[in-house]
Amino acid sequence: EIVVTQSPGTLSLSPGERATLSCRASQSLSSDYVAWYQLKPGQAPRLLVYGASIRATGIPDRFSGRGSGTDFTLTISRLEPEDFAVYYCQQYGSSPPYTFGQGTKLQIK
């Protein structure tokens, strides 16, 4: 089973700053099978990025993903107040196919 590790566990930043969230897989992913989701309390999780770098429909361009192999990042270029949430990465390319990281909580500093 591929283990997905996210860092940091908590990130404290101010609106307007840049956020960089990391996601590491325990084995190299043969393709860029990584997705990122945003979770807010009481809301449905929201797909942000798939294929490591492809923004989902309707996602603002301040969100960008990159990476390959075992290391992936999600960057939010200029934080808006609504971006403070918990973010999860997921690898979906191996068996079991749906392995999530433990999440990064992005909180207001």
Residue 27, CB-side half-sphere exposure with 13 Å CA sphere: 12
Among positions 56, 59, 66, 77, the unique one binding other proteins when judged by CB under 8 A: 56
CA neighbor of 38 nearest in space, from 54, 56, 24: 56
Could you say whether residue 42 binds other proteins (CB under 8 A)? Answer: yes
CB of 26 to other proteins, least distance (A): 15
- Residue 109 near residue 15, CB atoms below 8 Å: no
Could you say whether residue 99 binds other proteins (CB under 8 A)? Answer: yes
CB of 103 to other proteins, least distance (A): 5
Could you say whether residue 73 binds other proteins (CB under 8 A)? Answer: no
